[in-house]
Structure 1
Amino acid sequence: MFVKPETESVLFAGPFALATLSAPDRPAFPALVTPDARILDLRTVLDDDQLTVRGILEVWETALSRLRALAGDDGLGREPLADFRVHAPVEARQVFQSGANYRQHVIDLHVAHRAPGEDRSEEERRAEAAEIMDRRAAEDLPYVFIGLPSAVTGPYDDVVLPAWAAKPDWELELAAVIGRPAYQVSVEEALDHVAGYTIANDLTDRATVFRRDMPQIGTDWLRSKNAPGFTPLGPWIVPAESIADTGDLRVTLKLNGDTMQDESTKDMIFDVARVVAYASQSARLLPGDLVLTGSPAGNGMHWGRLLRDGDVMEGSVTGLGVQRTRCVAEGTP
């Protein structure tokens, strides 16, 4: 486990956030975190020893007012966050991932991912990418696929790079957390079903994105995106009411201290509401589910520099805190 520095300040918007924490003598529990790095064990405060963050999200409409009151009650005995391990904030049943949702990122990937047999120039492929995006935006067709909950890991845990992953890459994203079941909801209704937001790093092995043995099949997201730990999540779920505008948040990833991604969500082709609404047309979104909204430009393929043993990624999104993970090659002691 890569432990976050105890001196790191807890920065998120609003008066509180939700987390899942543990200690050597305390199994994982749901916690209310305040910006001064203090926590309340919600199982104790709410007198429910089986409570989880997902359980809170399942009754979000009634739980939210209680959480507000707890955050404002200075008389409650709070504990220092530094005494606890921070896990992924929620155990999702489903993970919906939006691909090709930042304009500049799509252009870069379209050029970098040369499919088998592709012999067109970079200029031609850039022009094609722009045309595809314009058409998708006009037809209101986001690109959403399914990830595995087993790929999710904590915001400060080591990320194991599998021996077979020849080109592991980063993709920092804003993730919406569902708080009310959503099925075939409209764009106008979609955000009413979002409880809050968190940070996800949707790692991808670029070498296995396409099936070289059967190119007509296209992308292989199972192989390229779902190794254990390939989705660092968190550290917190910040209530949606604390995020004023998801259309203008800064998504920043640093690799060993160097800024690689630094873009506003303004560059999204489809905003959060459109992605959530689109996913709900085919699937029933459940409380605690994650909807990843795509990653901006600045991935390793763009820089010609992929992840390797010992790399440290630090990802932040405005108002949602910071996650920090270290890469460890498979088999490293």
Structure 2
Amino acid sequence: MRFVTYTHPDDGERVGVLDGDLIHALEPGLRLLDLLGDDGERLGAAGRRALADPRQVRKAGDVTLRAPIPQPPTVRDFMTFEQHVEGVAKLTDPQATIPPQWYEAPAFYFTNPYAIIGPDEPVPIAPGSTAFDLELEVAAVIGRPGTSLTPEQAEAHIAGYT
């Protein structure tokens, strides 16, 4: 199931399941964040209920899609592309190369969860700006707690991608 968060003038902000070009709304007041934390059963059950109820359906083109989790509690941004890491290193030293440690444990940083923008939302640009740069990211949404996991164990903790 593909879950979305959207706004509509008649509904305010809602969460729904995208099915083709239709969005089946979940119960009012639910956030995707509220449905995470277990093995995915709450999220799956909410999605199945929404798909079974034809009363709360909107056309995808009639809503504004937001980020699935508009203000996540935390965001970690990993530097996973060699070209990007090399470019950042060369900002301080034109002869720099990628540190060998990066291949063992890619670097990440905490980024601003309030800067998350959905696909239909305008990107704010500061007044007076003469240049603008943005990044498009792929996110793995972690759906339940875990520490010191193997890659195989970690995969079971991923609720979805956006």
Task: Return the TM-score normalized by structure 1.
Answer: 0.43
Give the C-alpha shift of residue 136 in structure 1.
Answer: 2.5
Are residue 156 (structure 1) and residue 156 (structure 2) matched? no
**Which structure exhibits the higher relative contact order, with contacts defined as CA atoms closer than 8 Å and separated by 6 or more residues?**
1
* Secondary structure at the counterpart of residue 104 of structure 1: helix
- The gaps in structure 2 that reach 5 residues or longer are none
The residue identity in structure 2 corresponding to 1:152 is I
Are residue 62 (structure 1) and residue 41 (structure 2) matched? yes
Give the C-alpha shift of residue 24 in structure 1.
Answer: 1.4
* Secondary structure at the counterpart of residue 14 of structure 2: strand
Distance 1:51 1:69 in 2: 14
The residue identity in structure 2 corresponding to 1:108 is G
Q: What number of residue pairs does the alignment pair up?
A: 160
The partner residue of 1:38 within 15, 22, 25 is 22
The partner residue of 1:24 within 9, 13, 16 is 9
Q: 1:88 to 1:72 in 2, by over 3 A?
A: closer
Distance 1:42 1:148 in 2: 28
Are residue 192 (structure 1) and residue 151 (structure 2) matched? no
* Secondary structure at the counterpart of residue 29 of structure 1: strand
Give the C-alpha shift of residue 53 in structure 1.
Answer: 1.2
* Secondary structure at the counterpart of residue 76 of structure 1: coil
The residue identity in structure 1 corresponding to 2:110 is I
* Secondary structure at the counterpart of residue 21 of structure 1: strand
Distance 1:179 1:62 in 2: 11
1:202-229 CA distance string (max 9 Å, x none): xxxxxxxxxxxxxxxxxxxxxxxxxxxx
Distance 1:175 1:186 in 2: 19
Tell me the residue number matched to 2:75: 95
Distance 2:102 2:161 in 1: 25
The residue identity in structure 2 corresponding to 1:173 is E
* Secondary structure at the counterpart of residue 153 of structure 1: coil
Distance 2:10 2:50 in 1: 25
Distance 1:157 1:68 in 2: 24
Query: Mapping of 1:191-210 within 5 angstroms?
Result: 191-198=155-162
* Secondary structure at the counterpart of residue 82 of structure 1: helix
Tell me the residue number matched to 1:145: 109
Q: 1:21 to 1:50 in 2, by over 3 A?
A: same
1:149-202 CA distance string (max 9 Å, x none): 11122222221222586654232221100111123333331111110000xxxx
Distance 1:64 1:157 in 2: 25
Query: Mapping of 1:199-278 within 5 angstroms?
Result: none
8 Å CA contact 2:17–2:47 kept in 1: the answer is no
Distance 1:159 1:65 in 2: 31
Distance 2:35 2:154 in 1: 20
1:100-120 CA distance string (max 9 Å, x none): x11122223433x2x3xx5xx
Q: CA RMSD in A?
A: 2.6
* Secondary structure at the counterpart of residue 108 of structure 1: helix
Q: 1:168 to 1:176 in 2, by over 3 A?
A: same
Distance 1:149 1:186 in 2: 26
The partner residue of 1:181 within 126, 138, 145 is 145
Distance 2:138 2:106 in 1: 16
Tell me the residue number matched to 1:283: none
Distance 1:144 1:110 in 2: 14
The residue identity in structure 2 corresponding to 1:136 is W
1:57-77 CA distance string (max 9 Å, x none): 23452124425645775x734
Q: 1:72 to 1:23 in 2, by over 3 A?
A: closer
